[in-house]
């Protein structure tokens, strides 16, 4: 039963339906040298709605560190599937300069097209989103 499974999962996850906390995960990843070494020269795609909770200073620092290691740092958010979407939250505005891409993550087809396009150079996400804001 899907409803029962979701209810059970919600009890197990401390921030279920309460906002994203990417900074915790990124800080943990970056704090372990053998893990953070995997980011060096990599194309990193983060799948998240990016609706961060609380202070985003740690997220901004972690994204800057991750961007410095990566070949390309991308954020795919299902919210960008809406044509009215703009990176308007404080957290998204803070991390936008560190992103190479901020793309629609609302469908598997769109994500597949994006991942296949990673070999081609693209303008920085901040440049693109400043034009449409």
Average pLDDT rounded to a whole number, residues 76-89: 91
Q: Is residue 36 part of a domain?
A: yes
CB 46 within 8 Å of CB 76: yes
The confidence band for 24, taking pLDDT boundaries of 50, 70 and 90, is confident
User: What does the alpha-carbon distance between residue 129 and residue 133 come to, in Å, rounded to a whole number?
Assistant: 6
The confidence band for 128, taking pLDDT boundaries of 50, 70 and 90, is confident
Contacts of 68 (CB under 8 A, 6+ apart): none
The confidence band for 133, taking pLDDT boundaries of 50, 70 and 90, is low
The confidence band for 56, taking pLDDT boundaries of 50, 70 and 90, is confident
Q: Is residue 126 part of a domain?
A: yes
Q: Is residue 11 part of a domain?
A: no
CB 2 within 8 Å of CB 10: no
Q: Is residue 45 part of a domain?
A: yes
Which one, of 96, 60, 98, lies nearest residue 80 by Cα?
A: 96
Q: Is residue 44 part of a domain?
A: yes
Range of the domain at 48: 20-132
Q: pLDDT above 70 covers what percent of the chain?
A: 91
Residue 70 has pLDDT above 90, yes or no: yes
Q: Is residue 6 part of a domain?
A: no
Cα 91 to chain centroid, rounded: 11
Q: Is residue 128 part of a domain?
A: yes
The pLDDT, as a whole number, for residue 112 is 93
Between the CA of residue 13 and those of 8, 16, 20, 75, what are the distances in Å?
9, 5, 12, 23
Average pLDDT rounded to a whole number, residues 32-41: 93
Domain count across the chain: 1
93-115: pLDDT as tens digits: 999 999 999 999 999 999 999 99
Average pLDDT rounded to a whole number, residues 67-71: 94
Q: Is residue 15 part of a domain?
A: no
């Amino acid at each position: 039963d899907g409803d029962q499974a979701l209810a059970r999962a919600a009890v197990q996850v401390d921030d279920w339906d309460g906002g994203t906390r990417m900074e915790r995960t990124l800080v943990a990843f970056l704090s372990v040298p053998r893990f953070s070494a995997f980011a060096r020269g990599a194309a990193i795609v983060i799948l998240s709605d990016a609706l961060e909770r609380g202070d985003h200073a740690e997220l901004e620092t972690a994204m800057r560190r991750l961007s410095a290691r990566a070949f390309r740092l991308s954020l795919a958010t299902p919210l960008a599937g809406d044509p009215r979407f703009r990176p308007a939250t404080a957290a998204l505005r803070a991390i936008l300069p560190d992103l190479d891409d901020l793309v629609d993550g609302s469908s598997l087809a769109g994500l597949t097209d994006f991942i296949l396009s990673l070999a081609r150079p693209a303008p920085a996400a901040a440049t693109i989103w400043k034009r449409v804001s």
